[in-house]
Chain A
Amino acid sequence: MKQFLSFISKEFSHVFRDRKTLLMLFGVPVVQIVLFGFALTNEIKNSNIVIVDNAKDLASQQIITKLASTTYFKISRELMNASQIDAAFKSGDIKLAIVFPANFYTDLLHTNKAQIQIIADASDPNTATTLTNYVNGIIADYQSQMNATIDVPEQINLDVRMLYNPDLKGAPNFVPGVIAMVMLLICVMMTSISIVREKELGTMEVLLVSPFKPLYVILAKAVPYLVLSLINLTVILLLSYFALGLPIKGSLLLLYAVSTLYIITSLALGLLVSTGAKSQYGAMTLSLVGMMLPTMMLSGYIFPIENMPLVLRILSNVVPAKWFYIIVKDVMLKGLGFSYIWKETLILFGMTVFFLTLSLRNFKTRLE
């Protein structure tokens, strides 16, 4: 036991004395959260739009006020007629134009039908789609308000609800993703590098030729990174709570429990990488290409799995991060309990057992 503790304290010394490792350990999650949270967001704010209001009646004014009151749009100016729209787009600073026809309100009242023209700059199709969706939402909202006050509501009432993320905010989606990535990064890459480094330095040979059991060498390597990962998880959760205002809806205990399971999966993977890699560089490449890439691509965190071809959809099932991502989303964002995630947890548990057995069997008590 004394040997074991001494080994663990040695591992911590390695981590805390290496500034680069420390920076990576705690810098990466912070940078990722900040980047994804503020910079690389799908939300579009303060887009400049122009309005051509040929009606200038009650309804058009109400809708314009509604549009202007959101953070999505900034009405840069009102144009006198539709022929000016083209020039406004060409000047480049506007994203969207909204045209109200003459007699807009009268049409609406008498025929129960009125049209609004939305012209978007589709040179960036994603932005264009998002912005038109925002406008649709706002107008639908206006319609439903109006229908509440009149007797014969005949307009088509679009009922689109964005569950769990009604404002289509980016943050809820990527926080579980960042957790999955960072845990994998720390556990797989750092663990494998630290084991391979011992091989490179020749210290592994000495450790093997000692009464210290090889199994303990592995455990002693794993414990510090388990602790560091849990600290990191806490940092990410605190950041997302305080900086991004994202509440944790489910049980914190459950979240930590499944995270610990996922960390152990990753540690086992790191161990597996270390048995295959001969140099620190090799270990890094193997972890980055072999682990990070599939995690980013196939966990559903950047690209939705439903949209993938069948082969990739099947392949995504062997990526542990996919299951962890589902679990974290369920617990953190939807506030679901264990009874809803037991299936995913069981799969993750099975993977952990599999990788752990495999890597322990591959770890040699000799050099070959």
Chain B
Amino acid sequence: MSAAITLDHITKTYNKGATMAVDDISFAVEKGELFGLIGPDGAGKTTIFRLLTTLLLPDKGTGTVVGNDIVKDYHKIRGIVGYMPGRFSLYQDLTVEENLKFFATVFGTTIEENYDQIKDIYGMLEPFKNRRAGKLSGGMKQKLALCCALIHKPEVLFLDEPTTGVDVVSRKEFWEMLKRLKAQGITIMVSTSYMDEATLCDRIALMIEGKILSMDTPANVIKAYPEKLYAIKSSNMHGLLKDVRANEDILTCYAAGEYIHLSLKHEGKESEAQLLNFLQERGDTDLIFKETIPTVEDCFIRLLGNKDGNKEGNRN
């Protein structure tokens, strides 16, 4: 297996070095891999995409896409990659078919020639092919954008936050499509700020402030979570969070969906009982307390290393 994408000590700054976007990053993506860049807005995900798609030049370091240098061989790269920018919204005033036709022509091909490449996805859009792209729902827009990025049979697919602003069902469908594309041997690099999507990747890189904090398979990232993680819930969640914070044995705690996730400084039955006691004394009722398996989000929050440990960590 050869690497489809490599980055070697890549650094990129904006505003003449004042803003650090990507800070000395190195990694490789194998051919046929579905690789996820996970991180909040401003982590540097988009910059990595733009560097790899030759839209930006790195300040330092080198990178390759299918063996082509991202600086010298930029023209070659532009022919073999498919790219869906984060704010890509197609031509709103052209119909579905016209959009696809246009991008097919620009990439030197036709819809008919590569129809089987997009058949699965375009099949869903075909009933609406005479509708203008601006009138499509968010999910359909993303499908059309993916079709446009796929129409020329790219070897590597770059998808920058393809599911942002898309409903849950469409997001699920979208990831199904990515799996099918992966099965065809296309290398896919995708970024997302939805942590729940991270587990759908082969490997993920957790990014923050231009640095990669951790990179592994989602399962290994979760396994590496060092402490026991608990979930707790009561009838009065707001009061509960305050009370939990007041406890001295708490290492981290934050709201995560309907539960509060927390870890303790001293693990074991004794500390758990002490915490429950402490909360009951403070008048928290209907307590549900259990150990839980960390999610990628929990790993991420831990890596962020919030010193006060009580920041709102939930993004969805």
Task: Show the binding face of A for B, using Cβ within 8 Å.
Answer: 2-3, 6-7, 10, 13-14, 17-18, 200-203, 205-212, 365-368
Contact of B87 among A3, A7, A17, A201 (CB under 8 A): A201
Bound Cα distance A208, B102 (Å): 14
A366 and B108 alpha carbons, distance in the complex (Å)? 21
Q: Which residues of B contact A3 (CB under 8 A)?
A: 105-106, 108
CB distance from A275 to the nearest CB of B (A): 15
Known: A3-B105, A206-B88. 7 other contacts (CB 8 A): A6-B102, A14-B91, A18-B93, A201-B88, A211-B108, A366-B57, A368-B57
Which chain A residue lies CB-closest to B49? A205
Interface string of B51-73 (1 = CB under 8 A from A): 00111110000000000000000
Q: How many residues of B contact A (CB 8 A)?
A: 33
B91 lies within 8 A of A10 (CB):
yes
CB distance from B64 to the nearest CB of A (A): 16
Query: Which chain A positions have C-beta within 8 A of B89?
Result: 201-203
Q: Known contacts A10-B94, A368-B56; decide if A202 and B88 are in contact (CB<8 Å).
A: yes
User: B90 an interface residue at 8 Å Cβ cutoff?
Assistant: yes
Given A2-B105, A206-B103: A201 in contact with B83 (beta carbons within 8 A): no
User: Within the assembled complex, what's the spacing in Å between the Cα atoms of A49 and B123?
Assistant: 80
**B88, A13: Cβ atoms under 8 Å?**
no
B54 adjacent to A201 (CB under 8 Å): no
- The residue that A209 contacts in the complex, of B78, B86, B102, B108, with Cβ under 8 A, is B78
Q: Which residues of A are found within 8 Å of B92, using beta-carbon distances?
A: 201
Min CB–CB distance B168 → chain A (angstroms): 24
Residues of B within 8 A of A (CB): 50, 53-57, 74-75, 78-79, 81, 83-94, 98, 101-103, 105-108, 148-149
For residue A193, give the distance in angstroms from its CB to the closest CB of chain B: 14
What is the distance, in angstroms, from B109's C-beta to the closest C-beta of chain A? Answer: 10
CB distance from A338 to the nearest CB of B (A): 41
Q: Could you say which residues of chain A place their CB within 8 Å of the CB of B85?
A: 202, 205-206
Partner of B90, one of A13, A203, A205, A209: A203
A203: which of B55, B56, B86, B88 is its contact (CB, 8 Å)? B88
CA distance in complex: A368, B13 (Å): 12
Given contacts A201-B88, A202-B86, A209-B54, contact A6 B81 (CB under 8 A): no
- Please report the C-alpha to C-alpha distance between residue A26 and residue B257 in the assembled complex, in whole angstroms: 56
**CB-based contact A209/B56 at 8 Å:** no
When distances are taken between beta carbons in the complex, the residues of chain B under 8 Å from A10 are 91, 94, 98, 102
Closest to B77 in A: A209
Lowest 6 CB-CB distances: which A-B pairs, in order? Answer: A6-B105, A202-B88, A202-B85, A202-B87, A205-B85, A367-B55
Beyond A3-B106, A201-B91, A211-B78, whether A206 also contacts B56 by CB under 8 A is no
Task: Report how far A8 CA is from B262 CA in the complex, Å.
Answer: 59
Q: Quick one: which of B50, B74, B78 contacts A367, CB cutoff 8 A? A: B50
- Contact flag A205-B83 (CB < 8 Å), given A3-B108, A366-B57: yes
User: Which residues does chain A contribute within 8 Å of B75, judged by CB atoms?
Assistant: 211
| Cα distance, A209 to B50, chains bound together (Å) | 10
Note all chain B residues with C-beta closer than 8 A to A206: 83-85, 88, 103, 148-149
Cβ–Cβ < 8 Å partners of B84 in chain A: 206
Are A205's CB and B55's CB within 8 A?
yes
Q: For residue B107, which residues in chain A have a CB less than 8 angstroms away from its CB?
A: 210-212
CB-defined contacts of A207 to chain B, threshold 8 Å: 106
**Which residues of A have CB within 8 Å of B87?**
200-202
Nearest CB of B to A110, in Å: 82
Find chain B residues with CB under 8 A from A366 CB: 54-57
A15's closest neighbor in chain B, by CB?
B93
Nearest chain B residue, comparing its CB with the CB of A220:
B106
